[in-house]
Chains A and B, each alone.
Chain A
Amino acid sequence: MFNFFRSFSDGRWKSGWGLLLAGLLLLTVGFLFLSIKATDTAASLAPGKPAPSPGLKKRDVRSELAPEDQKLRKAIQSLSPKGIYAVVDTAKNRLWLKRGESVVYEAVVSTGSGTTLTDPKNPDRRWLFETPRGEFRVQSKIRNPVWIKPDWAFIEEGEALPIDARDRVEGGVLGEYAIAFGNGYFIHGTLYTRMLGQNVTHGCIRMADKDLEVVYKSLPNGAPIYIF
Chain B
Amino acid sequence: MFTKQTDHRTPLPLRPLHRCGTILSLVAFLWLLFVPSVVSAIDPEGPPAAAKKKILQLELALAKKGEVYTLLNLSSQGLILKIKGFPLKQFHFSEISLEKAERLREPVHRLIKKYPPPPAVEKEIPLSGAPETRVSSLLSTETVFVSVGDMPSRYRLYFEDGLMISIEPARRECNCGKIHSGLSLIKETAVSLSWEAERLLFDRRFPDLRLVLSEEEAQALFWSLSEGAWLLIDSGS
Contacts and interface: CB of A to CB of B under 8 A. Distances in A.
Nearest to B208: A47
Contacts of A192: 139, 141
Interface residues of B, number: 88
B197 interface: no
B128 A116 contact: no
Interface string A87-102: 1011110000000010
B82 to A, nearest CB: 9
Nearest to B47: A41
B184 interface: no
25 contacts: A8-B21, A9-B17, A35-B42, A39-B46, A40-B237, A41-B236, A43-B101, A48-B97, A49-B97, A51-B77, A62-B44, A63-B52, A81-B84, A87-B88, A90-B223, A92-B220, A113-B144, A114-B147, A116-B121, A133-B226, A156-B137, A170-B136, A173-B139, A200-B145, A228-B224
Interface string A25-41: 10010011001100111
Given A5-B22, A43-B105, A80-B85, A134 B68 contact: yes
Contacts of B75: 42, 51-55
Contact of B48 (A25, A63, A91, A160): A63
Nearest to B51: A41
Contacts of B74: 42, 51
Contacts of A4: 25
A55 B237 CA distance: 7
A90 B88 CA distance: 12
Interface residues on A, range: 35 or more
B116 to A, nearest CB: 15
B144 to A, nearest CB: 6
B17 A75 contact: no
Contacts of B147: 114, 198-199
Contacts of B17: 9
A69 B56 contact: yes
Given A120-B125, A158-B125, A190-B138, A51 B25 contact: no
Given A41-B235, A117-B125, A199-B145, 13 more contacts: A9-B25, A32-B39, A35-B42, A41-B47, A45-B101, A69-B52, A76-B60, A91-B220, A91-B224, A101-B86, A115-B121, A158-B126, A198-B145
Interface of B: 2, 8, 11, 17-18, 20-22, 24-26, 28-29, 31-32, 35, 38-39, 42-44, 46-49, 51-53, 56-57, 59-60, 63-64, 66-68, 74-77, 81, 83-86, 88-89, 95-102, 104-105, 118, 120-123, 125-128, 134-139, 141-148, 220, 223-224, 226, 235-237
A118 interface: yes
Contacts of B102: 43
Contacts of B127: 158
B128 A199 contact: no
Interface in A48-77: 48-55, 59, 62-64, 66, 68-69, 72-73, 75-77
Given A54-B236, A113-B144, A39 B63 contact: no
Do most interface residues of chain A lie in helix, strand or loop, or is the interface mixed? mixed
Nearest to A47: B99
B63 A76 contact: yes
A10 B18 CA distance: 7
Nearest to A204: B138
A28 B35 contact: yes
B235 A228 contact: no
A76 B95 contact: no
B104 A42 contact: yes
A228 B21 contact: no
